[in-house]
Every structure is written in C-alpha cells, then in structure tokens.
C-alpha cells in the first residue's frame, strides 16, 4: 500500500509523513529528499543552477519511480508535485490513500516565515509579501489538491493528532 501526503509548502507533509510511517511501521520517502540524494544537490541549488522546469521533470521522474517501487510506503510530496505533468492522475491510478493536509493561510505564513530560505519559490519575497503570495498561489493549486481522496483539516492540530486521524481513515 502506498500512502501519499500532499498540500501547500509548510502544511506538514514531511513532518507528518515521517511520524505516520513510524506509527505504521512502514518505510517513509520524502520526494524532495529523494531528488536531492539522487542528484547530489539541494533543492535550492537545483532551482538556481538548472531552473524550475528541470526540477519539475526530475520531480515527475522520481515520483514515478517511488510509485512503481515494491512494498508499502508513506510518501510526502513537494508542494507543487500534484500541479505538474500528469502527476495527480499517476498518483490516483496507483492508490486510494491520498491525503491533502489543508492548513489556513495565517498558519502557513507563520511557518513559512521561518522556512523561507529552503524554499526557492518564496525565498526572495519580503516577509510582508508572503501572505498575499500564499493566498494567490493556493487559489491556483487548490484545484489539484482537492482531487485527493481525503482532505484533512490540519490547522491548529498537533502532529500526533493528524497521524491518528489518518490512521483512523486508513
């Protein structure tokens, strides 16, 4: 069984995914980490040196590899993964366990203010520009995120609560 977590940057995919996999006793793969390890470069370096289009092609390739790999796995996507290529169709063809971590903008904003440097799409924004950027970006991306089989209202909840909620749904 493959379990996929998706959602905006800062929604907690990587954090919740790791804990969920530990709770279920199955392997965890973070798509961003997998790309970084495979290419021997950090995500910000890949964006800087090769550009976003290159990154999206690699993201699609490594997503396919994980989905086609053997065995159970919890997979945390990058925030943009569902919105490019035919990634969302690929995911939904492979598994019915697709969870959208939906987090309100003020909470995303608070988390991303401290996590900006690692995220090339927002690292050059001024702090005061961030909430409007998130709002517009989320408006575009929500169409893809809402194709997930489950939406988790993840605002104001601790990681262990979210893990329990997902385990119950599974």
Ligand X SMILES: Nc1ncnc2c1ncn2[C@@H]1O[C@H](COP(=O)(O)OP(=O)(O)O)[C@@H](O)[C@H]1O
One residue of 78, 97, 152, 163 binding ligand S3P per CB under 6 A: 78
Site string for Mg ion, 11-50 (x = CB under 5 A): --xx------------------------------------
Binders in 123-152 for ligand S3P, by CB under 6 A: none
| Cα→Cα distances 129→104, 110, 151, Å | 17, 13, 27
Report the run of H or E that residue 53 belongs to, with start and end. Answer: helix 52-68
Binders in 150-169 for ligand X, by CB under 6 A: 157-159, 162
Distance CA 79, CA 155 (A): 17
Rounded to the nearest angstrom, the gap between the alpha carbon of residue 101 and the centroid of all alpha carbons in its chain is: 9
For residue 98, what are its two tokens? 């697709």
Distance CA 154, CA 20 (A): 14
Backbone angles phi, psi at 99, to 5 degrees: -115, 125
**How many residues form the binding site for ligand S3P (CB under 6 A)?**
11
Nearest CB to ligand S3P, comparing residues 8 and 24: 8
43 binds, among ligand X, ligand S3P, Mg ion, none (CB under 5 to 8 A by kind): ligand S3P
Residue 80 within binding range of ligand S3P, rule CB under 6 A: yes
Residues near ligand S3P (CB under 6 A) are 9, 13-14, 32, 43, 78-80, 119-121
């Amino acid at each position: 069984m493959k379990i996929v977590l998706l959602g905006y940057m800062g929604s907690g995919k990587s954090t919740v995914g790791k804990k969920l996999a530990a709770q279920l006793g199955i392997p965890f793969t973070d798509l961003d980490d997998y790309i970084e390890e495979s290419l021997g470069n950090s995500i910000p370096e890949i964006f800087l040196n090769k550009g976003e289009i290159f990154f999206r092609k690699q993201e699609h390739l490594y997503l396919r590899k994980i989905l086609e790999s053997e065995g159970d796995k919890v997979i945390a996507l990058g925030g943009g993964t569902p919105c490019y290529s035919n990634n969302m169709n690929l995911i939904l063809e492979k598994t019915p366990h697709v969870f959208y971590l939906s987090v309100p903008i003020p909470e995303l904003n608070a988390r991303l203010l401290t996590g900006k440097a690692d995220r090339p799409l927002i690292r050059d924004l001024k702090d005061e520009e961030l909430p409007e950027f998130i709002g517009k970006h989320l408006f575009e991306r929500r169409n893809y995120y809402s194709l997930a089989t489950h939406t988790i209202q993840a605002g104001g909840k601790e990681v262990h609560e979210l893990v329990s909620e997902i385990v119950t749904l599974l």
